[in-house]
Chain A
């Protein structure tokens, strides 16, 4: 685990995936392993500190039972244009660890039937309370809670 001034800075780490597969944009991204509690399966989500909110694909949001959940309606500005949807709070998502301990995040996420594709972990409502570190040398993603 990573240390800062002798104290634990992170408590867990996992290997991230950085290769674009299939079609679409081919530039490398950082995909980390997460498990939405209500889904109970491991999926990949793009780590995007520049994204205002975390987003799940509509099919995943539907399987989690949050696609039509009550929330705050907003229009999110994205590279796909303005997407109408809802901000839903209280979404439990685990950041899975290969080593050390994982984290459980009680997050606020954006869901929309119009979201075209991809799962994103964004800053507000998710990353803002998590310490992270990346080592592109071995593709390791380190994480820990803010004390």
Chain B
């Protein structure tokens, strides 16, 4: 595994046809990560931010993302070198966005990535050797699970529907318990994309809790705690309802316990507990 710090960027090789310009971009801290892609000032499919601190050239590492006013977050990720494009990789027809498109792809033997160099609204198509068309949506996000591809051509077409898959990226951060990062990314989603139902559900679920005061009291449960301590082991696996020093109901299931309590017409709220096995 080739690792190092930012100073070892010579290890990167320029994209074919792009010359030293791409290297210059790399030195401005443009990295491809195993999870999200980070580019100077922007993180595609992840959290908006810049990379700071020591960064390994390749291999697993932790990167601190500065999120401007929002704060910062650490992300565990893999950094892969940007590989040399194969010689047979044909250039797309020249157009005003040629430069952007050329820089929009990097390829190695296992992964195909796109980055934010593709201008907003540009829908990209590429094809593998079996002529299977890969749309920009199949290029993103750049996860290790991407299918193995060998690109034979790329082309471009203008489309307003080309958007990073924000919902799946936010969701993947939630599954990694990176709630702060997920909220930051959600906050950075453009308004025009927030109409997606999945994003709306995520926004609702990830909203901080609302806490209000409530004039609701409970009785001192010291006697119930004492009962659990002294008798709990006799009721392993059972649901119990305890009021003061008394067991008022016991059942195999909560449903059964609730039925028993209803029949008993208890006045004071008992303490319900499911005893450990």
Binding site for B on A (CB under 8 A): 11, 14-15, 17, 19-24, 33, 35, 40-44, 52, 57, 59-60, 62-63, 70-72, 74-75, 77, 87-90, 94, 96-98, 101-108, 117, 124-126, 128-130, 145-146
Contact = CB atoms under 8 A, between A and B. Distances in A.
A129 B273 contact: no
Given A63-B258, A74-B175, A117-B276, 7 more contacts: A21-B229, A35-B218, A44-B271, A57-B274, A103-B211, A104-B213, A106-B212
B220 interface: yes
Contacts of B209: 105-108, 125-126, 128-129
B73 to A, nearest CB: 14
Interface string B255-277: 10010000000000111111111
Contacts, number: 150
A59 B255 contact: yes
B93 interface: no
A52 to B, nearest CB: 4
Contact of B277 (A24, A72, A96, A103): A24
A90 B209 CA distance: 8
Interface range for B: 35 or more
Most chain-B Cβ atoms within 10 A of its Cβ — which of A17, A106, A107?
A: A17
Interface stretch (B34-42, B49-57, B128-136, B199-207): B199-207
16 contacts: A14-B218, A22-B235, A23-B277, A62-B254, A63-B258, A72-B171, A97-B216, A97-B218, A98-B219, A101-B213, A102-B215, A103-B214, A104-B216, A128-B209, A129-B210, A145-B213
Contacts of A15: 220-222, 225
A128 B213 contact: no
A21 B273 CA distance: 10
A23 B201 CA distance: 39
A96 B204 CA distance: 26
